[in-house]
Amino acid sequence: MTISHKIEPYISEDRQQDLEKIYKSTYSTKEYADIYFPEYDKQLFVVFTTGSTPSDIIIFAKQKRNILVINQACTIAAPVIEYFCKAMFEQYPNVKTISFDKQYTHPNTTALDFLIIGTVDNYIIDLPEDLAAYRSMLGKNIKRNMNLSINRLKRNFPEFDHDFFVREDIPEAYIDRALELNRRRMKEKGQVSGLNPANMEKTKKIAKSHGLVSRIILENGEVASVIINTVVDDHLFFHIITHDSQYNYYRLGQVNLYLTIKHFLEQGGDKFHLLWGEYDYKQKFKGERFILYCFEIARNSSILRQQTLIHKWNSRIAYIRGFTPLRIYRFFIHQVDKKILKRFFKKRSKKQS
């Protein structure tokens, strides 16, 4: 493979469109880079393998002795990764490492020194040609449950309304409602919501450029379920699912997800990305697991050894910091419960003998 490149300023309208065509990923768009990495001075590494059409466009930023690759949830071919890293090390003699986040390509396929920092899973539904074909993929239970729940909702709630809103037409109130429902649900479970006003503001911004929001109203005009997605070309990325827990009986979150899949399939969608986090419903809706790798490429093996040591110590420090008073309390309570149960079963076994 013959590879060439040029480094361009960030970012022309043509390159913005090229990025979306090449990767079809929300996490490799201009808007994502602007919203989530606003402080970085970004550049483009435009790769050509044949002709004048780019095969890859890598958004990168130089941070002292590290190069940060901003493209995520995408496939950059191994030869391109290797070519890019060698070009960066040559152009910037003081750079020691190059960081990649959430890449489908395993770094072991390159001829460079690498360190895997972590992995995440993305569950992807490969959508068939129509709804009938998709339903044939589903298990008997999930099909029956969806039919029952949708019929019950329509029968018990005459105001049942399910609708979609895209980009600039998305009411911000729906995103605020998603945060409210998520916080309430986590509180009921005794957990802390991972959502907060700061990252929801970022979600609002990315929704304005690529958003598809699905919402359900059951009664009194109040939104009972919200799903926030983004769409790039024919790929959908499923970010946030929430529902009012008083409607758990109706499987409201799953109903909303099913209707969203149906809608996107009818719009000609190709891939439905359920993203990270292992939940049973993702397998039920036929999401296939794919691994994304977070890694660093080092200039040489000695630097790699240093980075390995640094990451080990950082992970240990993070682990120690994780011991909050509540976590320590729960740990000791768990240990006490185990001892009580052990004594109980010992006494019981002695009586039976």
For residue 241, the domain's CATH number is 3.40.630.30
Q: What is the pLDDT of residue 301?
A: 67
Q: For 55-89, b where at least 16 C-beta lie within 10 A, e where not — what string? A: bbbbbbbbeeeebbbbbbbbbbbbbbbbbbbeebb
Q: Residue 282 falls within a domain, yes or no?
A: no
Structure tokens given for 110: 């390159």
SS3 for 309?
helix
In degrees, rounded to 5, the angle at the alpha carbon of residue 333 between the alpha carbons of residues 331 and 335 is 70
Q: Residue 258 falls within a domain, yes or no?
A: yes
Enclosing domain of residue 178: 128-269
The verdict on 106 and 174 lying in the same domain is no
The verdict on 53 and 164 lying in the same domain is no
Q: What is the pLDDT of residue 352?
A: 58
Instruction: Tell me: cis bond preceding 76? Omega within 30 of 0 counts.
Output: no
Grade residue 244 by pLDDT with cuts at 50, 70 and 90. very high
Grade residue 170 by pLDDT with cuts at 50, 70 and 90. very high
The verdict on 219 and 304 lying in the same domain is no
User: What is the total count of domains within the chain?
Assistant: 2
Q: Residue 185 falls within a domain, yes or no?
A: yes
Q: Residue 353 falls within a domain, yes or no?
A: no
| pLDDT of 110 above 90 | no
| pLDDT of 122 above 90 | yes
The verdict on 53 and 177 lying in the same domain is no
Grade residue 109 by pLDDT with cuts at 50, 70 and 90. confident
The verdict on 295 and 254 lying in the same domain is no
Instruction: Kindly report the backbone phi and psi dihedral angles of residue 151, in degrees, each rounded to the nearest multiple of 5, phi listed first.
Output: -65, -40
* Mean pLDDT for the stretch of residues 209-232: 96
Q: Which amino acid is it at 177? A: R
Q: What is the pLDDT of residue 264?
A: 97
Q: Residue 205 falls within a domain, yes or no?
A: yes
Q: What is the pLDDT of residue 338?
A: 56
SS3 for 213?
strand
Q: What is the mean pLDDT of the chain?
A: 89
The verdict on 232 and 114 lying in the same domain is no
Pairing of strands 235-243, 222-232: antiparallel
The verdict on 63 and 109 lying in the same domain is yes
The verdict on 187 and 296 lying in the same domain is no
Q: Which range has the worst mean pLDDT, 48-57, 91-100, 273-282, 327-336?
A: 327-336
| pLDDT of 326 above 60 | no
The answer to whether the CB of 223 falls within 8 A of the CB of 214 is no
The verdict on 103 and 132 lying in the same domain is no
Q: Per residue in 144-159, pLDDT tens?
A: 999 999 999 999 999 9
Radius of gyration of the chain (CA): 24
Distances (CA, A) of 101 to 35, 317, 352: 17, 21, 58
The verdict on 33 and 54 lying in the same domain is yes
Q: What is the pLDDT of residue 311?
A: 62
Q: What is the pLDDT of residue 19?
A: 97
| pLDDT of 215 above 80 | yes
The verdict on 101 and 147 lying in the same domain is no
| pLDDT of 208 above 70 | yes
Q: Which amino acid is it at 146? A: M
* Mean pLDDT for the stretch of residues 107-128: 90
Structure tokens given for 273: 């990305």
Separation between Cα atoms, residue 49 and residue 44, nearest integer Å: 16
DSSP 317: H
Q: What is the pLDDT of residue 191?
A: 80
The verdict on 12 and 97 lying in the same domain is yes
Distances (CA, A) of 15 to 30, 190, 210, 264: 9, 46, 17, 26
